[in-house]
Structure 1
Amino acid sequence: MPRLAPIAAAALLAAAALPSLAAADTPLPVAVPEAVGLSSERLGRIASVLKADIEAGRLPGAVVAIARHGKLAYHEAFGFRDKDAGVPMTKDTIFALASMTKPMTSVAIMMLNEEGRLFISDPVGRYLPAIGKMQVGVQKKAADGQVVLETEPPKRAMTVQDLLRHTSGITYGGRGTTPVHKLQPASSGFAGTNMTTAEFIEKLGAAPLLYQPGTTWEYGLSVDVLGAIVEQMSGKSLGGFLQERLWGPLGMTDTSFTIPDAKHDRFAKGLANDPDSGRPQSVLDLRKPLKMECGGGCAAGTAADYVRFAQMLLDKGKFGGRQIVAPKTIEYMTADHLGGASHNNLGPGYGFGLGFTVRLSTGVAGVSGSPGDYNWGGAYGTWFWVDPEEDLTAVFMAHAPGPIRLHYRKLMTTLVNQAVMD
């Protein structure tokens, strides 16, 4: 038998050490990690850490997908889809994406922009008059010491760009206890399960803004408003538009706003109680129909589907030989758009683009990465990022809705980056 060259032999050994990646199960072409500059040995640390957490009862299960240079180098499932029933996790498990819906809705808005149907600098009131009439809340103390809520006009109109970058002044009602918070819907999931789009816009439009538009980064219902704009401009439901323009062309066959009956058994269950606090926790059950297909947090999908979306972003809008959105659009979306606005809650070293957190430099941030990499996660434990400098994207899917989800964001970023060898 002829002797293999050292590189070829190493690749074969690495392939033998990894679980098989059957072509039928993979969303992208498959490569041995070493063939795309990743270390199989170091990628093995992902399994070691996640399995230990699963055995310790801190995580029910997870699916991880990592692609580099357009090739899927790692795609594994760990733990349980349903721990109580003993059902093992599989790579085709469906998760509630929560706020990982937001980047897809943001892309939908940019598709309308590319067609000249709206401009990013347009006032939101042009499309949704009720939102354009929102006043800004001002808290004052009355003579008796009680806090009263007054309003003042916005100093400038809220724009579509403000919605995309979370500088609209809109918040989540569940993020605080001020009088303004109490008047806004609690969350995207709450709005999606309790209101139609028209009811959502009416309720939100009657509430005051927490901040003056353009002044402060404040996470909230902005992208749900974008979803309403997509519906109005396209004449379709948000899910219908995304299926036609994004999910269908990308082959995201398991992504939707309501999981069909035939796929109900593939939906992951989280732990009943938070592993640290012991308090009850829950995940939005997308096997039940929504009243509103909320663009800020109501989609469900798989790691395989989402890595296709992420790869499209990494490849400047192109996937499978088709240009989904323009390269300049992706470049624009993944630049920092905050400027002089306050960078609340993003952490040091990060700005925000049009749908993503954007890393500003190699240093400063609390985890490793590259200037210009961008990411976003979901409240139920999902997480993804794209690193153009390393030509890499990674997706982490889990139902871990408590504060522990923040731990897994840092953990997965660290474990993937330490496996990059060139």
Structure 2
Amino acid sequence: MTVDEIDKRLGAHVVADELLGLAWLVAIGDDVATGAVGYVDGTRSTPVRTDTIFRISSMTKPLTAVAASILIDDGVLDPAEPVDRLLPELADLRVLSNPAAEITDTVAANRPITVEDLLTFRLGWGMDFADFAPKPFNAAWSELDLGWGPPTPAQMLPPDTWLERLGTLPLQFQPGERWLYHVGAPILGFLIARAAGTPLSEFLTERVLRPLGMSDTGFAVPPEKLARFGPHYAEIDGARTVFDPAVGQWSNPPAFEGGGDGLVSTLADYHRFARMLRNGGELDGTRILSEQAVTTMTTNHLTPEQLSRGGPGPDDSAGWGYGVGVQLRDDPDGPRAGAYGWAGGLGSIWSNDGAVTAILLTNQTWGEAGPLPVFATFEQILGELARGFDPL
């Protein structure tokens, strides 16, 4: 499969005006191909390039999980330890008697939240992919201004205030009972900061980004790089609307360094991160993680019962490791069993599937129905390459 063929298949979605622009990378072993299609903004005057900087939203989660895994390797954190040693705001929590109960209808928690609960998203708080019906808990969350929905880093509360308010809410489920999306990641980011005695951004830079040469990844885009950045778009009432301008929420370092959705990055940077994991925690002679830590991170931790009650995929074909989705069985039109990675609701996706790494970054938020059609096309391309249908 040639670069032109991949450009044509992905570019068809830009031609159809489903989105303004995208950049992609596919690597088979050491052979790397990249491409860019479309434009940075609605004026269609600046083409997307392969070094364009994108908001990667939930593709932040795997980096946060790696940062926590480093501290586990270092012996600073233990997966089994309660988080309230470092996050006393989350001690002595109550649990809703049922997820739809009134906020005061609670029972005692069976046990504290652990570090592994945060990593595996089984802490008892989060988005329930199996039930989006409005509940009193959701209203209480909104009243406390804790943030729910697309990332808005500049509008979030300071971390200590956020944690203090969070600790006043009951859990939706008992710790360890259910997989619920997202909330474990920002809490994990604040746990890392307190364990390391430094902001999450500094720890990530020192232990992950700088050693891997990920110079364009961070919680904000500095002024000298804004020329490679652009606005981000969402569809509202059928019209393409600016969700965030180029000089907007990511143009200044935020107080709330969101470990679940706050980073920007590029194809080259994220590829170096993906290669490190594919190489068992090491890249170009620099070890970031132990091999055992990578294995633990990329292995499913959810039970069959948990998967049947709502997991990271539309059915029980995808499990969850530490901050990454893990494919449990072959998808005829996409990843194979054992592939791992994650996507971002602002329009991005990454997968390591055997020797194949694939990354797609766009400037268009997913729609109400989920991922844009270009993502299905990209997963088909990944599946074809991973099965060896064509070399690059």
TM-score by length of structure 1 reads 0.82
**Among residues 131, 134, 148, which one is paired with 2:90 in the alignment?**
131
C-alpha deviation, 1:191, in angstroms: 6.1
Distance change (3 Å), C-alpha of 1:190 and 1:136:
farther
- Which one-letter code corresponds to 1:295 in the other structure? G
Would you say 1:100 and 2:68 are equivalent positions? no
* Matching residue of 1:153: 108
Q: Distance in 2 between matches of 1:107 and 1:238?
A: 12
C-alpha deviation, 1:289, in angstroms: 3.1
* Matching residue of 1:361: 329
* Matching residue of 1:417: 383
C-alpha deviation, 1:140, in angstroms: 9.3
Distance change (3 Å), C-alpha of 1:355 and 1:52:
same
Distance change (3 Å), C-alpha of 1:324 and 1:355:
same
Would you say 1:165 and 2:127 are equivalent positions? no
Indicate conservation of the 8 Å contact 2:113/2:123, yes or no.
yes
**Among residues 350, 374, 379, which one is paired with 1:408 in the alignment?**
374
CA deviation map 1:125-170 (0-9, x unaligned): 122111233221235999xxxx664111112221111111111111
Q: Distance in 1 between matches of 2:209 and 2:273?
A: 8
Would you say how many aligned residue pairs link Structure 1 and Structure 2? 372
* Matching residue of 1:298: 262
- Which one-letter code corresponds to 1:314 in the other structure? R
CA deviation map 1:40-62 (0-9, x unaligned): 2xx54321232222122111111
Would you say 1:52 and 2:20 are equivalent positions? no
Would you say 1:347 and 2:314 are equivalent positions? yes
Q: CA RMSD in A?
A: 2.4
C-alpha deviation, 1:98, in angstroms: 0.6
Indicate conservation of the 8 Å contact 1:380/1:405, yes or no.
no
Q: Distance in 1 between matches of 2:333 and 2:372?
A: 12
**Among residues 266, 281, 287, which one is paired with 1:323 in the alignment?**
287
Q: Distance in 1 between matches of 2:74 and 2:359?
A: 30
* Matching residue of 2:238: 277
Structure 1's consecutive aligned runs of 4 or more residues displaced over 4 angstroms after TM superposition are 139-142, 172-176
C-alpha deviation, 1:291, in angstroms: 1.8
- Which one-letter code corresponds to 1:117 in the other structure? V
Distance change (3 Å), C-alpha of 1:206 and 1:279:
farther
C-alpha deviation, 1:281, in angstroms: 5.9
C-alpha deviation, 1:67, in angstroms: 1.1
C-alpha deviation, 1:279, in angstroms: 6.8
- Which one-letter code corresponds to 1:401 in the other structure? T
C-alpha deviation, 1:318, in angstroms: 0.9
C-alpha deviation, 1:200, in angstroms: 1.4
Name stretches of at least 5 consecutive residues in structure 2 with no aligned partner. Answer: none
Distance change (3 Å), C-alpha of 1:202 and 1:190:
farther
Distance change (3 Å), C-alpha of 1:351 and 1:272:
closer
Indicate conservation of the 8 Å contact 1:63/1:303, yes or no.
yes
* Matching residue of 1:83: 42
C-alpha deviation, 1:272, in angstroms: 5.5
C-alpha deviation, 1:277, in angstroms: 3.3
**Secondary structure in structure 2 of the residue aligned to 1:189:** coil
**Secondary structure in structure 2 of the residue aligned to 1:88:** coil
Distance change (3 Å), C-alpha of 1:129 and 1:55:
same
Q: Which moved more, 1:184-193 or 1:49-58?
A: 184-193
Q: Distance in 1 between matches of 2:240 and 2:289?
A: 43
Would you say 1:186 and 2:147 are equivalent positions? yes
Q: Which moved more, 1:173-182 or 1:149-158?
A: 173-182
Q: Which moved more, 1:221-230 or 1:189-198?
A: 189-198
Q: Distance in 2 between matches of 1:139 and 1:281?
A: 39
Q: Distance in 2 between matches of 1:351 and 1:140?
A: 22
Indicate conservation of the 8 Å contact 1:139/1:149, yes or no.
no
Identity of aligned residues (%): 29
C-alpha deviation, 1:340, in angstroms: 4.6
Q: Distance in 2 between matches of 1:128 and 1:167?
A: 17
Q: Distance in 1 between matches of 2:99 and 2:85?
A: 31
Distance change (3 Å), C-alpha of 1:148 and 1:196:
closer
Distance change (3 Å), C-alpha of 1:340 and 1:192:
farther
Q: Distance in 1 between matches of 2:323 and 2:88?
A: 23
Indicate conservation of the 8 Å contact 2:64/2:259, yes or no.
yes
Indicate conservation of the 8 Å contact 2:18/2:372, yes or no.
no
Indicate conservation of the 8 Å contact 1:373/1:385, yes or no.
yes
C-alpha deviation, 1:172, in angstroms: 5.0
Q: Distance in 2 between matches of 1:94 and 1:223?
A: 22
**Secondary structure in structure 1 of the residue aligned to 2:326:** strand
CA deviation map 1:230-270 (0-9, x unaligned): 11011111110000000001110100111101111211323
Distance change (3 Å), C-alpha of 1:272 and 1:355:
closer
TM-score by length of structure 2 reads 0.88
